[in-house]
Amino acid sequence: MTLNVPDEFLKTCMSVAWAWDRPHWSAVVQKLGLIEKAAHVRGQYSRTDYRNPLGIHTWAQWLSDRVVGLKLELVRWANLEESNREDYERVLRESEAAFSTVTKHLREVFGSPIFEGRFGEAGFPHDQSAELLALWQYPSVRMMVQWLHGGATTPIAVVLVFAPPS
């Protein structure tokens, strides 16, 4: 698997003046070249989907008027509930290898993450949920690669996340 996010876009993400409140969020979106497609509201939680110029599924998650994360789904495996055990285990290996490939590339561009490990390990961010996670911390943003895997009946994905500092 190759990373389908150009280094230039990644560097733009890291140069953005990240602001996590609704009034300032439009400047972040504009700098990243994202175009709002749809908004979904469910109580105090909401989600905004964006058209990304890179063609990557991208969305922001909101809690009231604050963004809690901008997510770019780099690769996804779905419909695994009908897979046999061998195919399912192959997808697990492929998806974990994709997580490692993305993490290795980001390490080459941004240096070593401050955390890389599994859910529940010391240092795993308390506000995140993933099987595997690599974290780079900056003053105004956390950049993370997450391997999401909730079981055979849910999709498996490798996601790049930008979130407020903890």
Query: Which pLDDT score, from 0 to 100, does residue 151 have?
Result: 67
The amino acid occupying position 71 is K
Task: Classify 26 as helix, strand or coil.
Answer: helix
Query: Which pLDDT score, from 0 to 100, does residue 82 have?
Result: 66
**pLDDT tens per residue across span 29-81:** 999 999 999 988 887 889 999 999 999 999 999 998 899 999 999 988 776 66
DSSP code string of 62-117:
EETTEEEEEEEEEEEE--GGGS-HHHHHHHHHHHHHHHHHHHHHHHHHH---SEEE
Report the predicted TM-score, pTM, of the whole model to 2 decimal places: 0.91
Token output for 10: 């990644």
Domain boundaries, the chain: 7-163
pLDDT band at 4 (very low <50, low <70, confident <90, very high): confident
Whether residue 27 has pLDDT greater than 70:
yes
Cβ–Cβ under 8 Å, residues 29 and 52: no
What sign results for the dihedral spanned by CA atoms 155, 159, 164, 166? positive
Query: Which pLDDT score, from 0 to 100, does residue 153 have?
Result: 67
